Amino acid sequence: MKAAVFREVNVPMEIEDIEVSRPGPREVLVRTKAAGICHSDMHFWNGTYPGALPMVLGHESAGIVEEVGSDVHYVKPGDHVITCLSVFCGHCEKCLTGHMSLCQEPETNRGKEDDPRLSQGEQPLTQFAQLGSFAEMMLVHEHAVVKIRDDMPLDRAALIGCGVTTGVGAVIHTAAVEPGATVAVIGCGGIGLSCINGAAIAGASKIIAVDMVASKLELARKFGATDVVDASDGDAVAKVHELTGGGVHYSFEAIGLKVTAEQAFQMLRNGGTATVIGMIPPGDMVSLHGVDFLMEKKIQGSMMGSNRFRVDMPRFVDFYLQGRLHLDDLVSNRIKLSDINDGMAALETGEVARSVIMFD
């Protein structure tokens, strides 16, 4: 099969012929139909986060089941599925206490003594996030997929596999925003826009979008933003306080920078909660004023929206088909696998919400 292979940091990927193994007892072979290009892919490609090379990147994807292992009963060939990077074992402490997105059990991957899922000749290839969706096929653990209804367009379904679930989930699960609350979202890329959409679904009374790109702020209004703040023009924190009369109940950082994480905390009113979704570079330290903790202000992280993806994603599909989840406006470009490097470059400029690779 063909795949975009990541061999060296900041070096354009080539489309190469690689081999995919046959499914093991609890594995599923998926024919990739669509894959979004996400900032998480960029963080590894540009070396911000380390990874085991060579690697097939990609993790925000949807496809059709091609083949299943002998012990798989949840899906069958022909089923439409969304993949999820928060692969779960189902029986560890995290899974059994409802925190499946934090499962780190190694059994969902093949062991070192096993044949690799992906290879080229004698060389094994790493699957990013146990998925590797910048390829025509994905061989994954059965707990990396969720079955969805056949009438859901797969290019839109792919976005639910990471950005949408991360953004909406951070609002409804991690922060548990209640109706009538005030919300600020810093960063209006795919995840930030999904946060805004999630806040609208949750019933927030005021949703403030913060970004430095005018086109993204305009797009944020389509997703439910009631107010926008241009962070390139003046003090964004002061503007949020002015709009709310003292700060928001909930803030969300969807970029992954030290300064914006600090701003998210500063935007809170007393008793408020800041949720950092973005991937802050390793080693960066976030500085906060200790006196704010006396006012019960809180800051927390979120992993993939604290999801229970086999429950959440089918519901998000229903929300889209009901017109409540605005996935159409998230797709900025539809490209071919051969255009992967252009898609990565477009993501880095910050001008697009999502480029989606189409495999047909």
Low-confidence ranges of the chain (pLDDT < 50): none
What does DSSP say about strands 145-148 and 80-83: parallel, antiparallel, or unpaired? antiparallel
pLDDT tens digits for range 125-151: 999 999 999 999 999 999 999 999 999
pTM recorded for the entire structure: 0.94
CA 209, CA 293: separation in Å to the nearest integer?
25
176-301 has the same fold as 2-162+306-358: no
**For position 123, what pLDDT does the model report?**
95
Residue 45 φ/ψ, nearest 5 degrees: -65, -40
**For position 351, what pLDDT does the model report?**
63
Enumerate the domain spans of the chain: 2-162+306-358, 176-301
**For position 346, what pLDDT does the model report?**
86
CA 281, CA 267: separation in Å to the nearest integer?
22
The answer regarding whether domain 176-301 maps to CATH 1.10.760.10 reads: no
CATH level 3 topology of 2-162+306-358: Quinone Oxidoreductase; Chain A, domain 1 (3.90.180)
**For position 347, what pLDDT does the model report?**
81
CA 356, CA 265: separation in Å to the nearest integer?
33
- Measured at the alpha carbon of residue 355, what is the angle toward residues 135 and 184, in degrees to the nearest 5? 125
**For position 301, what pLDDT does the model report?**
97
**For position 218, what pLDDT does the model report?**
94
Q: What is the CA radius of gyration of the chain?
A: 20
